[in-house]
Amino acid sequence: MSVTLDPDLLAVAHYDDRGVPVLGRDAEIAALARAGARDLCVARIFEGHLNGLGLVARFGTTAQRACARLDARGGRIFGVWNTEDEDGVAFDVADERLRLRGWKSWASGARAIARPIVTARDADGRAQMLLVPLDAIAVAIDDTKWQPLGMEATDSVRVGFDGVTLPRDARLGEPGDYMREPWFSGGATRFVAAQTGALERLVTETLEYLIDRGRDADSLQVARVAEMRVALETARLHVARGRDAWKAFDAAPDDAHAADVVVAADCARVAVARAATGILERAMTAVGARGLVAPHPFARLVRDLQMYLRQPAPDAIARRIGDTAFAEARSARTIGSARSTATGA
């Protein structure tokens, strides 16, 4: 896959030393939505590019940050490869070099990304981020099992690192940094923004299709479109809520704001997935089989959205939302009881 990230997208891919977008969260989220509306496969690579650059900015050394800025300006694409099957990737240290072994799965952009951040286990079994110059080493590519329902162009294949060696300074941050909150869970705000951008395009394309065929006055279609619009507005509101939680945390990075970032991102994941399910069903019904063939864009939009919505651990996210709600309710009851006791009520 040959990925080209447009200048208007690359313009927002700059972060300060805290990992905060230089142009602000509004610009970051808007760019992800634009990317999603254009092409979800490119949006997936762009989201990984932002994630990777943010991790280097937040956890990298001064030298790593400087090199990342130069690489990004030179057109090298960053990404993050964390998913793995079975034993995954591990490394040991010998002769001042890191010796890698094992495989990563779902390595999006495997043939296009030049600077993936790869999580690997050290000798103590701890997860360590490695900043890998993929254009300077030889890795194995296994695409035999990459036959997805959608998002084919992301090239999310298996990548093998057996025999790869890296300098010691390829390590990014400390063991466990990749999973630090709120960045790990709160990062979901990025991909739901891209998904919502694709939903916006799907609704727009459906409206145009029906208008062109004189079906915009059909009462059933009007009702169907109304439901699509409500679902889209719900998705937009949750993305905005996640964005605003990040803005509050950027301004005051304390525990309370960090927790709010995670709650907002979790809720956005569930809400956008539900909104997308309703919009997809209604769009396909509205355009029928005729609309799901070329040159109309619906077939690819539907396939890519259905695949991109399959983010990991949906049940765990729903459980965390419920557990948080109960924890907040118990805390409120405890505070209320203490106040009543103090006032003699």
The distance from CA 322 to its chain's CA centroid, rounded to whole angstroms, is 22
pLDDT of residue 124: 94
Residue in this structure with the two tokens 């063991």, named with its chain if needed: 175
In this prediction, residue 84 has a pLDDT band, given cuts at 50, 70 and 90, of confident
pLDDT of residue 17: 92
In this prediction, residue 87 has a pLDDT band, given cuts at 50, 70 and 90, of confident
Q: Is the pLDDT at 1 greater than 70, yes or no?
A: no
pLDDT in tens, 198-207: 999 999 999 9
CB 59 within 8 A of CB 128: no
Whether 7-178 shares its CATH topology with 181-330 is answered no
pLDDT of residue 208: 97
pLDDT of residue 332: 86
* Residue ranges of domains in the chain: 7-178, 181-330
Q: Considering only CA atoms, which of 224, 210, 229, 226 is closest in space to residue 290?
A: 210
pLDDT in tens, 254-277: 999 999 999 999 999 999 999 999
In this prediction, residue 340 has a pLDDT band, given cuts at 50, 70 and 90, of low
In this prediction, residue 2 has a pLDDT band, given cuts at 50, 70 and 90, of low
Architecture field, domain 181-330: Up-down Bundle (1.20)
CA dist., res. 37 & res. 41, Å (int): 10
CA dist., res. 83 & res. 3, Å (int): 21
pLDDT in tens, 124-163: 999 999 999 999 999 999 999 899 999 999 999 999 999 9
Instruction: For residue 255, give Cα distances in angstroms to 25, 182, 238, 261, 262.
Output: 19, 9, 21, 10, 11
* Higher local confidence (pLDDT), 117 or 331: 117
Sequence-separated (6 or more) residues with CB below 8 Å from residue 72: 10, 13, 14, 53, 78
Q: Is the pLDDT at 285 greater than 80, yes or no?
A: yes
Which pair of tokens denotes residue 192? 């739901």
pTM of the model: 0.94
Domain 7-178, CATH homologous superfamily name and number: Butyryl-CoA Dehydrogenase, subunit A, domain 2 (2.40.110.10)
Q: In the chain, pLDDT over 90 holds for what percent of residues? A: 88
In this prediction, residue 343 has a pLDDT band, given cuts at 50, 70 and 90, of low
Q: Chain-wide mean pLDDT for the chain?
A: 94
119 DSSP β-pair partners: 129
Of the segments 8-17, 27-36, 148-157, which one has the largest average pLDDT value? 27-36
pLDDT of residue 68: 96
CA dist., res. 325 & res. 315, Å (int): 15
pLDDT of residue 194: 98
In this prediction, residue 80 has a pLDDT band, given cuts at 50, 70 and 90, of very high
pLDDT of residue 345: 57
CB 78 within 8 A of CB 72: yes
Q: Is the pLDDT at 322 greater than 90, yes or no?
A: yes
CA dist., res. 99 & res. 93, Å (int): 6
